[in-house]
Chain A
Amino acid sequence: MPATLHDMNLATQWHSAVSKHDFPLLHSSALGRNLHYLDNAATSHKPKAVIDTINTAYSELYSPIHRGLYPLAEAATEAYEQARLSLQAFIGASAADELIFTRSATESINLVAQGWARDRLQAGDQVWVSRMEHHANYLPWQRICQEKGAELKIIELTADGQLDLARAEDLYGPRSRLIALCQISNVLGNENPIQQVCANAQAQGIPVLVDAAQSVSHLPLNVVELGCDFLAFSAHKMYGPNGIGLLYARAERLQEMQPLLVGGGMVDEVGEGIAASSWIDGPGRFEAGSQNMPGALGFAAAADFIESLGRERIHQHLQQLTRHARTLLGQIPGIRLLTYDSVPLSSIVSFTLDGVHPHDLAQVAGERQVAIRAGHHCAQPLLRSLDLDATARASFAVYNDRSDVEALAEAIDYARRLFG
């Protein structure tokens, strides 16, 4: 599809705002500089601004957090809490105390399952997830439901891959104790009607957990307006560092949670027995051990980077690339796109090609410097329901442009000819 003048103007404006030049790995590394990196739903690369922030954290600020009484430790602690404040603004939370630093989105969801749901679920209760959840928002619920004799209920999908809420009887019923949903599917790329689910759930007093791992980097987000009780995401999928994630827990819910880890930093007074021990107030109760200050600073820098571009603009850019990819891939004989025209575009295109296993597609693409993902994408329940073992997936980020999409389509067509 030829680019329209409008698209080209937007692309030029976008390129002047951000490009691969801002990402050292993609700009100058041996393995990255010629790479069309389209595996962004797995993890994204880091802009220089984030890397510089982490460098500064280690070279100028590094010391213990919430433990030292000397100026360096006070500065480090202040920076760590400032990062929490920045992320509070980034997600629109009412208070910074509602933000818990974790290691990952996975840990955030496990913390809710083990630290909140465990004391609340009883035999016969229901926890609802959807068919399109990542294992990180599926297995924690499967496990806790089994342990407590509760029932894991699945919101199935319509023929075009959307949540079939009409078929999810009892979703808002008296036995429903929690609804845990991704905002954007990491396989289908679908954006789910989270606000609508939250509003209905809230009316019945049912908490909602949102897995925002795939959405937080490009969908405008305000947790208060969204009306969720919990929201989880990681830094590494939003241009931030590896090894740090976040759990937003509405103040009322946070008060109800028990820490998963006990140890240094989270205890107020250690008693003779564990029942006599008391925990500190606020999110620090859930951050046992030495805090990841460089990670938190890098996380906040990534949020600043996203804000500097604007999430609406990022979303538009990613939608354009996704549309272009759907068009070019759609022209390849034998291709099957797993996203549907009726579903709003996001940043992910999953597909299969008749006669070529997705691993071969990814391998051939890799040999042609196009990095895509192949496999079940940690969403086996979804793939089983689609009667697929694996798919290939391309996912876009701010640094991608139309040439990346064209290289993708060329590589997939080459694979078709190679295996044809």
Chain B
Amino acid sequence: MENKHSLYKDTLMKHYRQPHNKCEGEIEGADIVQRGANPRCGDDIEIGLYLDQKHVQVDQVKFRGRGCSVCIAATSMMTQAVSGRSIEDVRKLSAEMREWFHNSDGHDIADPPDDLQALDAVREYPARRRCVLLSWEALTDALDRI
């Protein structure tokens, strides 16, 4: 059912239907839990960061919450993309993502990890950018608390 003009690429729908690292209940045992909410559209998520002992690497990110397909899929992709990376790398990627969406005419991310490239289609829908960035903003806020 892929429509090349559609926002709803197969990769996005795959992450929406079967999100990675999504908890149904509480996020348990995380080092940092951070909420991200957009009351204007009702997206409301919570992400949990699991760090290594030295606090230099993000071992895993889990999330829970509710939102539109773009929000849920983008959050799923985010958890997949940053789990196992150094905090420095995660900060850099997070900044790149925000730049990528705030400046739709700007450069593409040189080598978007994993499935993030599928979000390229969303850049053409300014009203949905916030849905993509909500989890990345929550991630940045969480990193600022380390």
Chain A residues packing against B (C-beta within 8 Å): 357-360, 363-364, 367, 374-376, 380, 388-390, 417-419
Q: How far is the CA of A363 from the CA of B68 in the complex (A)?
A: 11
B125 and A363: CB pair below 8 A? yes
Q: How far is the CA of A380 from the CA of B41 in the complex (A)?
A: 10
Is residue B131 within 8 Å, beta carbon to beta carbon, of the partner chain? yes
Q: How far is the CA of A376 from the CA of B39 in the complex (A)?
A: 9
Is residue B67 within 8 Å, beta carbon to beta carbon, of the partner chain? yes
Q: Which residues of B1-27 are within 8 A (CB) of A?
A: 1, 3, 5-8, 13, 16
Inter-chain residue pair count (beta carbon < 8 A): 46
B128 and A363: CB pair below 8 A? yes
Enumerate 22 A-B pairs (CB-CB under 8 Å) in ascending A order. A357-B68, A358-B68, A359-B41, A360-B70, A363-B7, A363-B8, A363-B128, A367-B3, A367-B5, A367-B7, A374-B41, A375-B40, A375-B41, A376-B41, A389-B44, A389-B66, A390-B41, A390-B42, A418-B8, A418-B13, A419-B16, A419-B69
A376 and B8: CB pair below 8 A? no
Say whether chain B's binding surface is mostly helix, strand, loop, or mixed. Answer: loop
Known contacts A367-B5, A418-B8; is A360 also within 8 Å of B69 by CB? yes
A367 and B6: CB pair below 8 A? yes
Contacts of A418 in B (CB 8 A): 1, 8, 13
Please give the distance in Å from A271's CB to the nearest CB on chain B.
Answer: 46
Q: How far is the CA of A375 from the CA of B127 in the complex (A)?
A: 12
Say whether chain A's binding surface is mostly helix, strand, loop, or mixed. Answer: helix
Which of chain A's residues has its CB closest to B67's CB? A357
Q: How far is the CA of A417 from the CA of B68 in the complex (A)?
A: 16
Chain B residues packing against A (C-beta within 8 Å): 1, 3, 5-8, 13, 16, 39-44, 66-70, 125, 128, 131
Extra contacts besides A375-B41, A389-B42, A390-B41 (19): CB < 8 Å: A357-B42, A357-B67, A358-B68, A360-B68, A360-B69, A360-B70, A363-B7, A363-B125, A363-B128, A367-B7, A374-B41, A376-B39, A388-B42, A389-B41, A390-B42, A418-B1, A418-B13, A419-B16, A419-B69
Q: How far is the CA of A375 from the CA of B38 in the complex (A)?
A: 11
B41, B43, B70, B128: which has the most chain A beta carbons within 10 Å?
Answer: B41
Please give the distance in Å from B48's CB to the nearest CB on chain A.
Answer: 22
A359, A367, A417, A418: which has the most chain B beta carbons within 10 Å?
Answer: A359
Q: How far is the CA of A348 from the CA of B30 in the complex (A)?
A: 45
Contacts of B68 in A (CB 8 A): 357-360
Please give the distance in Å from B125's CB to the nearest CB on chain A.
Answer: 7
B13, B68, B125: which has the most chain A beta carbons within 10 Å?
Answer: B68
